[in-house]
Structure 1
Amino acid sequence: MSAISASSTPRRRDFRFFERLRVRWAEIDAQHIVFNGHYLTYFDTAVGGYWRALALPYAATMAELGGDLFVRKATLEYLDSARFEELLDVGVRCEQVGNSSMRLHCAVFRGEDCLVHGELVYVFADAASRTPKPVPQGLRDLLTGFEKGESMARVRVGAWAELGADAQHIRQAVFVDEQKIPAEMEWDSADASCLHAVAYNRLGRALATGRLLEHVPGVAKIGRMAVIAALRGSRVGREVLEALMQAGRERGYREVLLHAQLSAEGFYTRAGFQRRGPVFDEAGIAHVEMVRAL
């Protein structure tokens, strides 16, 4: 990873990841500009997005790695001020991974102009004693791989016998536990015969799932699309959708349809789907049918 000099002004092209924020009324001060302390909150918010970009559900990942990250040092340099309602892009870049520490460079941009930048130094340590521990090699590889432009997730496509345990775990958490869909409505005989897709991060954790089956000759149906809560808004749901559509093309289907929850309509619209027909109720949740050509 090539470092950004601490004395130089960062440029947008120095960053692979950005989190977009809008300045809120509560964040400005008597000078009608963002109060200086809020920029650390902006950095922290963007770091949360950075973990999603790495396809890492933070709490579960740290528990699996046997530690946690604690801030050791934070520095900021103020170049200009942000104002109410302005849209800001907060860049995050991993600059260095040491034995037990990691250094992130963060920068707040308004368009191409850098307003504030600085560094956050974290120490990986035992969660209870806070005794420093070596950064696990898996996490080290993830951080360096992301900054090199590598993919953070992979999608496996296969039968229920192969992927069912992971798909079931995700669907249970999202549909049954979170959305309160009755279990008897969630599980059906189609699972045994249709094609499933599951997205995994580079530590092997299952993140998202969906399935593909024939609706009528020439038309496939995608269903049971679910993403764990911590990774919503990342790309893993789209990657599962793309994998299922590609599987449909390979099987000769000319069109694919799905029943989208209204809250997810925008997600499918951005993937090229169009609404067809009125809103209807399915499992107590408002849905709409959406279609696209393959």
Structure 2
Amino acid sequence: MTTDTRSVVVTGALGGAGRWVVRRLLDDGYEVVGLDQRLPSGDAPEGANFFEVDLTDRGETAELFADVDPDAVAHLAAIPDPTNHAGVRVFSNNVLSAYNVLDAAGRTGARVAWASSESAYGFPFAERRPAPDYVPIDEEHPLRPQDSYGVSKEAGEAVAARTARRYGVPVASIRPSWVQYPGRYEATGNREGFDIEALRDLPSGVSQHGGAGNFWSYIDVRDLASMFSSALTADIEGHEAYLCHAAENYLGLDTADLLDALFGDDAPPCDVEGDACAFTTAKAERELGWAPEHDWREAADENVDGPGF
């Protein structure tokens, strides 16, 4: 791959997804500056340099960005869900770090791709989730988060739009599904324990049974990394959001039947066939030239060496 963008800052660079994004961007020929709350325990890969930083500290963040002067930024650092932290900690950490990183990126003229989330729609983590207005869900569907993580991502997208307006840099808000890693798909346990009849017996929308929170969707980490790569080179103007999901649900069952079981009489209109994902990535395919390549049927047990740092 050739690209005019040569240097990239990756935040959350030592996280589960961040390490794969670092490796993908190195493979694409970028010079990578990785930012995280710690340094790598082993040797950094060739072409990468790492800094320990608190991204909620505006001074630290601004200083590093001014020194690095990157061409691009991939922002993945965040507390990833609201289940093991106080809500205010999740919200304040995610929003403040997003503001500091995106503002610093804008001031240096760097284009941005950052990790928002499907949680911004308000379906995961809701005690009693509303049915979506329609399926497949696209980027235009209303965002109605109830939890601290989802609303931190909705607020982050407002920061992303503000950054694009103020500094004139392109910003892509990537909304990934549940990230899975080759050879160790956590979704396998959900599939093996799933019982659609048990789902039918519960009140509409209340179950977390077998991944109901995101309608049994997922994304392979390699496909997430490839979307970051695509978003950093695509012809984007202003701020745009992109869903990042595998093409199918991870149960291998008809999505319409699953939604009927989950919502009963409240089930949304569903215009998908077979086990196709309840979220559509048509916009990313059209504007980024990206499409998911990995399917749980092969990837769940695939023997792939992950990033070694």
Query: More strand by proportion, 1 or 2?
Result: 1
For the pair shown, the structure with the greater C-alpha radius of gyration is 1
Query: More helix by proportion, 1 or 2?
Result: 2
* TM-score w.r.t. length of structure 1: 0.24
Greater relative contact order (Cα < 8 A, sep 6+): 2
* TM-score w.r.t. length of structure 2: 0.24
